[in-house]
Amino acid sequence: MSAFWSAWITVITLGVIVGCIWLLFSTKRSQPHQEQTEETVGHSFDGIEELDNPMPKWWFQMFVATVVFGLVYLLLYWPG
């Protein structure tokens, strides 16, 4: 593969990783409360309502671990 295509794929990959980090932290920051509530978001389907609770901490940590894994993977397989 030529140097141009390697650089292009690297730029796209880094852009996606930065976008995921931005989405993750902006979603985490926009949550108005940090404890479990009984408030709903107004959606109801077949009598099941969606609660307005924050993202579980283990889920957030898994997203962060996935981003770190992606960066390490990119560094290990850097063309060179």
Rounded CA separation 33/55 (Å): 11
What pLDDT does residue 50 have? 77
Q: Which residue has the tokens 């926009």?
A: 30
**What pTM was computed for the model?**
0.65
**pLDDT tens digits, the chain, 80 residues: what are they?**
688 888 888 899 899 999 989 988 888 776 666 666 677 777 777 878 877 777 788 988 998 999 999 899 888 887 65
CB atoms within 10 A of CB 49: 13
Rounded CA separation 21/8 (Å): 20
What pLDDT does residue 30 have? 67
Q: Quick one: which H or E segment has residue 34?
A: none
